[in-house]
Amino acid sequence: MARRKRKNQEEVSGSGNWLTTFSDLMSLLLTFFILLFSMSNVSEAKFSSASQSIQKALTGETGGSTILDEAGISNLDTGNEIGVNEEETNDIPQQVTKMYEEAMAIIESEGIGDQISVSSDQDGVYLDIQESILFDSGQAQISEIGQETLNSLTKLLESSDNDIIVEGFTDNVPMNSVKYPSNWELSADRAMSVVRYLVEKNNIEPSRMSGRGYGEFNPVVPNDTPENRAKNRRVNIVLVYQPEEEFE
């Protein structure tokens, strides 16, 4: 009987060991949050929410909102909630947005939406035309289909006084001919062919126009498949963003 009683006493005395483990765990969690705070830049409100949540955990209280509910998912490096600066990063000027909308409307009305892709950023609006529409392979003479496409852009290009830059791009397949010793010359000649056509045939003001050749060095996708190389062979007509005061 004495042995059984002693054994029961040991079991009772050992039943509280989990409290020691729990206490250690809470201490480690508290240390962890303190370290996070020391390495971050958080607002006073977020710190208060975190403190309250830790206090509830330590005292065993349940219910109510959590840190994520009250403060939102945050970036501890900056202290900014995800999505807060979304409008700040979207810094496309209103004039560019208007140009983009006008370009889309005209291209749709001309029925050439399948030939030109339109995009924009803070520098202007980009009209992307694939090589297969404008040129034969390895050539810089504009095809009949290409001429029709460029003619369809006349209304759009005349709708503003913005400068226009024509950019030529190729894939990374080496070019080595008497006329074009490299892709540099081919891309530049293609850009200038479009510039001359728009000026001479569509009467676009020459002072607004310029051309650039980028060769193979600005691909939009890796040159690792025939399909991707075709996407990289292109001409961009850029409607350059110019603040309205520049026209005054």
* pLDDT tens digits, 80-108: 333 334 443 368 999 999 999 999 999 99
Distance CA 245, CA 39 (A): 45
Are residues 194 and 134 in contact, defined by beta-carbon separation less than 8 angstroms?
yes
Distance CA 22, CA 131 (A): 68
Closest of 224, 235, 125, 150 to residue 186, by C-alpha: 235
* pLDDT tens digits, 190-218: 999 999 999 999 999 999 999 999 999 99
* pLDDT tens digits, 30-50: 777 776 666 655 555 555 555
0.75 exceeded by pTM: no
Q: What average pLDDT does the segment 132-146 reach?
A: 96
User: What percentage of the chain reaches a pLDDT higher than 90?
Assistant: 60
Whole-number average pLDDT of the chain: 80
Q: Is it the case that residue 13 has pLDDT exceeding 70?
A: no
Domains of the chain: 2-86 (no CATH), 94-247 (3.30.1330.60)
Looking at per-residue pLDDT, the higher value among 37 and 155 belongs to 155
